[in-house]
Structure 1
Amino acid sequence: MSGQSERIVALAEGWIGTPYRHQGATKGVGCDCIGLIRGIWRELYGEEPGTVPAYAPDWAERSGEDRLMDAALRLFGPAVPLTEAEPGDVLLFRWRPDCAAKHAGVLAGPQHFIHAYEQSAVTRSALVPSWRRRVAGVYRFPTRT
């Protein structure tokens, strides 16, 4: 595992226990899955990855677009295959093959990921088959010099 991968996992672990709050992005106060990724980005690079417009809880279902996948491509670059995923990579999930991606987390090891779990908090979960089959894309935080 690279130094950046270790740092990303450590940063994600620092968010564990943060309550779930729709559109939140503040460690210890509240975040959703997008806010978790935004918060880690801020801690890595010192700035927001960009302005995030307000979004409703059903944003993925209503838009007809795969906005989360589009944003991931824009911010992280091309996806890497799940078979090449490393700790610290961002995992995007879709609930059904015909739906837009709607959930995100950070791979914490071969069998676990960290994510903001609705009606709970940021937590570490096992990447069991029911989660693994919903992975829509794997993205790597860019290396900044």
Structure 2
Amino acid sequence: MTRADSERVIAAAREWLGTPYHDQASLRGVGCDCLGLARGVWREVVGPEPFRIPPYSRDWGETGPREVLAKSARTMMIEVSPAEAGPGALVLFRMMPRAIAKHVGILTGPDSFLHAYERLGVIEEPLTQAWGRRIAFAFLFPQR
């Protein structure tokens, strides 16, 4: 599997800036959550979504033996170690210790990322040490 051009991924993601937060939505300019942002970028960079996304919990503290997001991403994306992830990579964040990865962002530079955040919508912000240490998984978008 060949990776998509990172500049194309970043440009597509930045088109979503300012989109209001809306749980389980994925409509640029209308509303999305963090996964909806990733789904929208996928549609713009790769093509139609390969499967329907079932309803999911918003609980960042959810624990369990299965990393549902990571498992799904592995079926259609190129997994890399978080240390290898660069601009254009999709990163999954573990928001609480021992919780499963439940937040998604797209790296836009060595020290910045874009994500959808409740009450703020889609924003681009610094990848601070606090955010960086929460990255649990990283994936590259495949080429169309």
TM-score normalised by L of structure 2: 0.90
After the TM superposition, which residues 1-145 of structure 1 pair with which residues of structure 2 at under 5 Å, given as runs? Answer: 4-58=5-59, 61=62, 65-77=66-78, 79-144=79-144
Give distance in 2, aligned partners of 1:24 and 1:115.
Answer: 14
More deviation in 92-101 or 20-29? 92-101
Retained in 2: the 8 A contact 1:16–1:122? yes
**1:15-64 deviations in whole A, cap 9, x for unaligned?**
00000000010000000000000000111123113210112322871765
Retained in 1: the 8 A contact 2:42–2:49? yes
Give distance in 2, aligned partners of 1:60 and 1:143.
Answer: 33
Aligned length: 142
Higher relative contact order (CA 8 A, sep 6+): 2
Task: Give the direction of change, closer, same or farther, for the CA distance of 1:71–1:27 in structure 2 (3 Å limit).
Answer: same
Retained in 2: the 8 A contact 1:92–1:101? yes
Give distance in 2, aligned partners of 1:43 and 1:32.
Answer: 17
Any gaps of 5 or more consecutive residues in structure 1? Answer: none
**1:101-130 deviations in whole A, cap 9, x for unaligned?**
010010000000000011211000110000
More deviation in 90-99 or 34-43? 90-99
Give distance in 1, aligned partners of 2:74 and 2:4.
Answer: 23
CA shift at 1:86, angstroms? Answer: 1.7
More helix by share: 1
TM-score normalised by L of structure 1: 0.90
Give distance in 1, aligned partners of 2:52 and 2:45.
Answer: 17
Aligned-pair RMSD on alpha carbons? Answer: 1.9
More deviation in 97-106 or 59-68? 59-68
Give distance in 2, aligned partners of 1:112 and 1:22.
Answer: 23
More strand by share: 2
CA shift at 1:85, angstroms? Answer: 1.4
